Structure 1
Amino acid sequence: MKSFLILLSLMISPLSYSASYSCDNSDCNKEIAELVAGKVFEDSVNGEIDVNFSLLNDNAYGAYELATGDKLGNDFGNTHGVLLEISRTDSFKINYKFVYFSNLYTERQSEKYNSDPYGSTYDQYFTEENIIKVVVNNKAQGKDKYIEVGVGIIELNHQDVRSFLSAAQQQVLMHDAMGSYHPNNLESGRENELGGFIEAGVGKQFIYQADNRKIRIVGDAKFSGVLSTIMDTSSVTASAGVDAYYQASERSWAFKAGTRVSSTIHRTGEAPMHELEASVGIGKGSYSFEIMLKKAFAGDKQNYQVYNYDNDTIVTLNFHKVFGGNDDKYEGESYKTEYISPY
């Protein structure tokens, strides 16, 4: 609870810093005027379409084990997920985002692998959490504080293995492709659950930008809540994070490093769940790629999924593409200074 209150205090504190620069002097050239270091990692603000596609896994898809000989996760509990986000910011700097999320939680039916003519298999019980929602925020308006609201549907699937967009089917396809054991998903006797939810949040943001614009630091604190017809999925979260970007010029590679901490009060435990996330990324033009690591480090995990009991590090691979942007600037065209939001 103490960590939750500390994060909440960041929301209401008067601390805020924003660096702004004028391009009316002779030392400010076109390249400096246009550079917003690391903007390729963020939602665009000029009417383009942003697409984020993420894959989540507790064993880093075997890469960590190949590199170190040790497993990062046990491939059970919170084990695999897929996230798709499509967003656009309109002329009023309001961002509209469609989100599809599917995540798989499993529990071993026994401690032994089974063998058949096709190789090894593993019997497991599962819960597949599926979420579809629409989220709206005004971050791109560049104000000190912002609001975010959303509405969606949530399903807790205990019975069906569906299309390739579902986390349960993706785990099967990936294990078969990698020559690993074949997951055999069993029905646990639980009925599928379907519900609706609303979410709302208020946040505070700040930005520091170096005089040469090559370094930019973005901070954010947020207080949010989810109210669902499936009551155990309701929660209240306080979080804070900071991202640092470096980019030498508008056409050069951009680099990112960030961290975020959050505390969540929920119905499925006596103590708030505390999580820590770290990320690094690289991007250029309209493409970016990030690796994020997230781990619960204290408190009780939110476990409405039944099998979210272990504490493995979740690795997320995120691919971001901007569609409709103008990456190519023509030499000699007339230049007009314009506001470019850091968000």
Structure 2
Amino acid sequence: MDREGELLYRTVQWDESRLQLAGKRPAGPLFDIKCPEDAVSKLHLPHCEIKPAPLCLSVVHISDDGMSFLEPLEITDTHVVVDVPHLSAFGLVWDIKRFFSPNPKPIRGQVLLFHRPAYMRQSPKLNVFLLPYNVPVPEVKGQQENAEYIEAPSSCDLIVGQIYSLHCSEAYKVLPKGARFEFNHEKNYHKTFEIRLTPNTDEVTVTVQDQERKDVWEYPVELLGSGSTSISASSSPPPATQPSASQPTWFPVTAEEGGLDPRRENLQRSLSGDKERRLLSVRTEFIDRVSSSVLKDLLDALLQHRVINNREMESIQIMPSRTDKARELIDTVLKKGNQACEILMDTFCEVDPFVSTMLKLQ
């Protein structure tokens, strides 16, 4: 900085289609940076290359005037240094050719652990994330509701596109059996593996192996307070306001709304809203006809609008079949009231106009 000032920054979503047209891929988060005093002269952007070559990284500058690429002043072992013309959005990018090498180079990765204690009839879980090293840990932590972040030596070398497996002898189930490591710098970070544990498990050893069965990371994890816990997932929403298209709607979520068995008494209640009754009337056809890809889009939209929370989304995603996921999704939304049903119906009409027309939801 040239002088004293307040710097504000946040990460924002990449528009990867624009980058692909320029032959580039994201190599780190896209930072939206502001400094009211106009005091910033250089930025040091964190990278995850192990041995950065002089021309392997560049910096994209995105503003209202368009997108441009800046040559670094310096590339250190940990950061890329660039002059700042004026503040807006900056991020690191790779040349796409890097990913077509016959001998792919590893990058610095990180393994993040989150413990979810036993909740009602669900077993305790350990969620494991394989991520690039320059993904901000606080952003991942902020998306893990009711989960304890476990501090551990997280650094390891990972190869983009390679298949990794996770092993834990103390677990009774590990899902999935293998997962491809992708260079994820999205706004939503999804767990790579889920370890399901028996109650009162207090220590486990977690090992990550590459596709040649070589260990790339291992850590003995202590699970404090691993017994059955009654977690309240209720949140205190801000004062009620009229929702707008640019402002997500708040929905209070309680432990009762966890979606564990919504088909018993909750759907038998007297539905007060017309949207609820309309959605319930097509419940069976929705379960039979909605596709897996549309279910994924619906889950993302419902999470964005805070109709469901991360825990509910994950419990639906790990269900074994498409029909189970569809049934759990519609029953969970039906319990949340007329406005939640309206959001589901409107989103369904957008992402699948053909089936929604057949169900007369248009």
TM range (shorter): under 0.3
| TM-score calculated relative to the size of structure 1 | 0.22
**Bigger radius of gyration:** 2
Higher strand share: 1
| TM-score calculated relative to the size of structure 2 | 0.21
Higher helix share: 2
